[in-house]
């Protein structure tokens, strides 16, 4: 029969409870199935000591061989090919050590002093030489490359959360299960940077745990659901999630809110000041900052330039980075990085649309002076609810892993952050919300952001005025710049000479400006294309820079849920009607079979399609007619097509022709 043994006190007992009563305070007592195992351990130690004493090899060679016996497994990081990790047993737990780190030197020094009776003291270079030899051997001998994780690892159907404690424990989340486990050599490989600190043990959370957190942070009521989902999604390591942004005036607990998100997801300490840092101003320094943290939290960010914006975007979606190791050679250090990000500032100048589409800004309620609390009181309240918050998050993620395969194909994303939309809706339903509640609130926030962004770029408002009553417009870059400038000055009353106004100052800057605002133009319902006129047509001088602006009429935008019009251009009218009736009948039959199923975004869209199908018969006679000013062709319907060229309207537009509505021909 086995027994428990405490190495610190030499106590042994048949049960763990008895061992504790004897005074054992060891966090992880060893369990031996047989008493002979203790003797084997002691004999092994004596054998090693004797072997080292009798060995005639150099001390460094002895220590090198001894170190290899202590390392169970060597792996090379996929993230950074220069990093070699040793998986070894240390203080009764399996630990992962970066062999080029300072901690590895401390480990080898401790092992050396423990097993070799010597009064000699060695410098860190002595041990670094031995570790470098092990690294070289691993690099040249085809050692396995594996993904190395910071804090959280997400595999196909499981999530591992490293608690960062001295026992190297983790939370393993699978479909419908949450379990506390000890990391071993078969677990995902975790690295522990200097900033990583121990996370509190989670407890069984209740549904009000997240409500208590958002109330503590004074998140506005209309933002609370999206914020909760965004926070939980920060634990999904394998997917890109929007950056959380807190802006506002002084005293709106921006720093505290930022530090709290860091504390919940990837703590770097127990106090607010431990969990925020300044954003590095140089791109390479920022990349290192992001790569060493699972979640990076930046405080008081007042400006982001184009290079830093690019690094932040790459960090959110995941990217590789190459840099020279030394200026004395041509070797490169290549590593990949992906990070979750939260930041705050008075008014962060996030001018770049690529970055704007990857963030969500959250409003907070005005804090009444009578409700102000001290930092100490805030931390006490946070500590009280944090175990339950983590417990609820982990439980929700286990449900989401179970539900995700069922719902992922039913949710049709509309924005760049597609994974956030899908996982967010799945998580929302797991929290007990009705179908599509999260998506509707998220799309509302995106629409508000797009409107705000459009106001920051007057050229978008000028295009909206220019394109009023038009679906297509084309002219030289010089003429379009002149027209848009006149609209901005005369109708929008904007002083274009103001250097803070984001409007091209010269016509040769307009094409570059359009590239910057292209994502915003898409959300406003416009597509802008720039090309050079190479035709013999005297409409424009050859090689003139041309800009064409098209209104995206049939695109379903975030601001308005437009019904999709059915397009059956190859069928004559009677057949089209019959096909629509058949489609209507089959949809009705299909809905009767699925009347008890859970509604999804896909079902919502099908109802729009049904309405469009029912109204198509009455509106068929009112289809828009077009003509082409370039080749003087017309009239033709918007859905009219030929076997050779397909849709006629689209064919003429692709050729760069000026296609206009027939009813306006007389006015042209």
Three-state DSSP class for 287?
helix
Residue 629: per-residue pLDDT: 65
Q: Could you tell me which residues come within 8 angstroms of residue 659 by beta carbon, excluding any fewer than 6 positions away?
A: 471, 472, 626, 627, 628, 629, 649, 652, 653
Find, among 175, 229, 201, 191, the residue nearest to 391 by Cα: 201
Q: For 425-439, what is the mean pLDDT? A: 94
Find, among 551, 585, 576, 556, the residue nearest to 639 by Cα: 576
Strands (E), 412-540: 472-476, 526-532
3-state helix/strand/coil string of 343-371 = EEECCCCCCCHHHHCCEEEECECCCCHHH
User: pLDDT tens-digit profile of 343-362?
Assistant: 998 655 556 778 888 899 99
- Is the pLDDT score of 561 beyond 90? no
Q: Find out whether 349 and 303 touch, Cβ atoms under 8 Å.
A: yes
- Is the pLDDT score of 277 beyond 90? yes
Q: How far apart, in whole angstroms, are the C-alpha atoms of residue 668 and residue 629?
A: 9
Looking at every residue in the chain, the average pLDDT score rounds to 79
| Residue 51 vs residue 317, higher pLDDT | 317
Residue 119: per-residue pLDDT: 66
| Residue 30 vs residue 184, higher pLDDT | 184
For 535-563, letters b (16+ CB in 10 Å) and e give: eeeebbeeebbbbbbbbeeeeebbeeeeb
Residue 377: per-residue pLDDT: 92
Three-state DSSP class for 162?
strand
Helix ranges (H only) for 566-632 are 573-593, 601-619
- Is the pLDDT score of 480 beyond 60? yes
Q: For 261-273, what is the mean pLDDT? A: 93
**Cα torsion 256, 258, 262, 265: sign:** positive
Q: What is the DSSP letter of 277?
A: B
User: pLDDT tens-digit profile of 500-514?
Assistant: 788 888 888 898 888
- Is the pLDDT score of 179 beyond 60? yes
Q: How far apart, in whole angstroms, are the C-alpha atoms of residue 452 and residue 449?
A: 5
Neighbours of 517 (CB within 10 A): 21
User: pLDDT tens-digit profile of 6-35?
Assistant: 766 677 777 777 777 787 777 666 666 655
**Cα torsion 511, 515, 517, 521: sign:** positive
Separation in Å, CA 413 to CA 291, 421, 458, 532: 28, 6, 28, 35
**510, 515, 520, 525: CA torsion to nearest 10:** 80
What is the separation of C-alpha 440 from the centre of its chain, rounded to a whole number of angstroms? 20
Strands (E), 69-124: 71-77, 84-90, 93-98
| Residue 448 vs residue 211, higher pLDDT | 211
Q: How far apart, in whole angstroms, are the C-alpha atoms of residue 55 and residue 49?
A: 10
Q: For 261-286, what is the mean pLDDT? A: 92
Q: Could you tell me which residues come within 8 angstroms of residue 60 by beta carbon, excluding any fewer than 6 positions away?
A: 126, 129, 130
* Cis geometry, peptide bond prior to residue 635 (ω within 30 degrees of 0): yes
Q: Find out whether 560 and 443 touch, Cβ atoms under 8 Å.
A: no
State the DSSP H helix or E strand holding residue 653, giving kind and residue range, or none if neither.
helix 648-654
Structure tokens at 513: 């400006």
Q: How far apart, in whole angstroms, are the C-alpha atoms of residue 135 and residue 254?
A: 44
């Amino acid at each position: 029969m086995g027994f428990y043994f405490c190495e610190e006190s030499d106590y042994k007992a048949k049960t763990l409870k008895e061992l504790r009563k004897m005074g054992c305070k060891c966090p992880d007592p060893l369990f031996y199935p047989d008493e002979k195992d203790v003797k084997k351990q002691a004999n092994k130690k004596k054998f090693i000591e004797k072997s080292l004493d009798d060995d005639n090899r150099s001390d460094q060679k002895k220590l090198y061989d001894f170190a290899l016996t202590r390392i169970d497994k060597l792996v090379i990081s996929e993230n950074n090919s220069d990093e070699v990790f040793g998986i070894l047993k240390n203080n009764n737990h399996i630990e992962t050590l970066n062999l080029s780190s300072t901690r590895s030197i401390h480990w080898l020094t401790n092992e050396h002093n423990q097993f070799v009776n010597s009064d000699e003291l060695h410098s860190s270079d002595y041990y670094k030489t031995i570790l470098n030899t092990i690294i070289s051997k691993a690099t040249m001998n085809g050692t396995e490359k594996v993904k190395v994780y910071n804090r959280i690892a997400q595999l196909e159907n499981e999530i591992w959360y490293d608690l960062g404690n001295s026992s190297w424990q983790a939370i393993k989340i699978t479909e419908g299960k949450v379990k506390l486990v000890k990391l071993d050599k078969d677990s995902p490989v975790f690295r522990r940077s200097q900033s990583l600190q121990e996370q509190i043990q989670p407890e069984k959370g209740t549904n009000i745990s997240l409500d208590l957190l958002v109330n503590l942070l004074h998140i506005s009521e209309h933002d609370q659901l999206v914020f909760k989902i965004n926070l939980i999604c920060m634990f999904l390591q394998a997917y890109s999630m929007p950056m959380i942004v807190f802006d506002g005036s002084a005293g709106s607990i921006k720093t505290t809110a930022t530090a709290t998100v860091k504390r919940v997801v990837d703590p770097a300490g127990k106090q607010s000041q431990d969990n925020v840092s300044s954003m590095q101003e140089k791109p390479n320094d920022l990349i290192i900052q992001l790569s060493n943290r699972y979640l990076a939290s930046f405080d008081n960010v007042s400006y982001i330039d184009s290079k830093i914006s690019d690094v932040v975007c790459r960090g959110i979606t995941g990217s590789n980075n190459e840099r020279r190791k030394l200026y004395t050679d041509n070797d490169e250090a290549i590593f990949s990085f992906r990070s979750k990000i939260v930041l705050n500032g008075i008014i962060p100048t996030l001018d770049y649309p690529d970055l704007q589409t990857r963030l969500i800004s959250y409003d907070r309620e005005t804090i009444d002076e009578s409700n102000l609390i001290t930092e100490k009181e805030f931390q006490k309240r946070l500590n009280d609810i944090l175990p339950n918050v983590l417990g609820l998050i982990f439980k929700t993620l286990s449900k989401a892993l179970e539900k995700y395969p069922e719902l992922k194909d039913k949710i049709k994303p509309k924005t760049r952050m597609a994974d956030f939309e899908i996982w967010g809706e799945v998580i929302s339903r797991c929290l007990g919300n009705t179908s599509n509640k999260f998506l509707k609130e998220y799309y509302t926030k995106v629409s508000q952001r797009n409107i705000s962004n459009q106001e920051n770029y007057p050229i978008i408002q000028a295009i909206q005025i220019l394109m009023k009553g038009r679906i297509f417009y084309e002219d030289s870059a010089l003429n379009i710049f002149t027209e848009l400038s006149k609209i901005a000055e005369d109708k929008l009353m904007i002083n274009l000479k103001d250097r803070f106004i984001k409007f091209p100052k010269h016509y040769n800057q307009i094409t570059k400006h359009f590239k910057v605002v292209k994502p915003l133009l898409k959300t406003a319902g416009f597509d802008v294309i720039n090309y050079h006129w190479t035709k013999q047509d005297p409409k424009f001088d050859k090689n003139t820079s041309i800009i064409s602006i098209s209104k995206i009429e049939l695109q379903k935008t975030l601001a308005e849920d437009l019904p999709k019009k059915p397009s059956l251009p190859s069928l004559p009218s009677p057949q089209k009607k019959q096909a629509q009736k058949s489609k209507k009948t089959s949809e009705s039959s299909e809905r009767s079979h699925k009347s008890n199923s859970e509604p999804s975004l896909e079902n919502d869209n099908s109802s729009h399609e049904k309405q469009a199908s029912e109204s198509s018969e009455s509106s068929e006679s009112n289809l828009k007619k077009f003509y082409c000013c370039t080749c003087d062709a017309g009239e033709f319907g918007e859905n009219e097509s030929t076997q050779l060229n397909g849709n006629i309207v689209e064919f003429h537009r692709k050729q760069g022709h000026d296609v206009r509505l027939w009813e306006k021909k007389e006015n042209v």
